[in-house]
Structure 1
């Protein structure tokens, strides 16, 4: 019996399957903390663990009718959450590779490659100057000093997750600023320079 779902939980799942929001809240409150701990062990990220837990319970609610067939809810919960966590980790890894590729390409271009690139670098500097002080410091320590998240966190007295959040925010702000201020001719010059480097 220990392997199977308890009668009271089976009743709770049936209520959720029928669209009972109070029953769903009870289900969430019963399992979310344990699930969060389990996902944290996989991802080593509080932020990612919270995101996975929310996504998994949203998915459960959206396909709640299928709960009537679940015989072991805890096992079911852990399997779908593990799969989702691994997918999230793969996505994060791809994003990091993409970001590093962009940075590598940007670093491989020098202002001598084209006169229009001087304007691009000037715009980049201006974008960095517009960042909030903490974001700017994190960005410069990461991109210019090549420090890792943990090193920046120790130096600035922040958590690793906060450093990550600041860096993501800074990168997004800089990209948006450059895209909205760069003119078409400079963009064509920049793209041409990227391609000429690859040939």
Structure 2
């Protein structure tokens, strides 16, 4: 794992940021594009992710993987975009009652994505309260393990252990609900979260 540490020196930080961008932008773009399937939107989200990295550079724990941070932020922004588009699409279809029956044909992939996201949300909500807090802070709010430990009054080792337990629980939960493998993309996502 390559470690990057911003120095709060604008020239040095710019050099580090450029290195991170060159090293990760294609991989992050590919992950965004897999979900979005639109080059212009994927490029916009990629820009937003790296802008967020620049804006939050002082908060990023140098002991944590910057690639994991980039992946989580890009995933969250992609999912937010898809949820917004899905809601717009469903509202549009629902506003034309005669066409409601063809909604499944118009939005099949987005409905599958929504089902997968709901399954992931269900699994996260089934976690014990403390593990749920740790998981959400680290994976959805982009907090480092150190920041999460400080916020919740835990040791870093406890945070790491909670994240590992959460990953295993989510994986088992999804497999127990859908043993046929229909939720395989969510399982892959959980496994890639670098927990």
TM superposition score category, shorter chain reference: 0.3 to 0.5
- TM-score scaled by structure 1? 0.42
- TM-score scaled by structure 2? 0.43
Bigger CA radius of gyration: 1
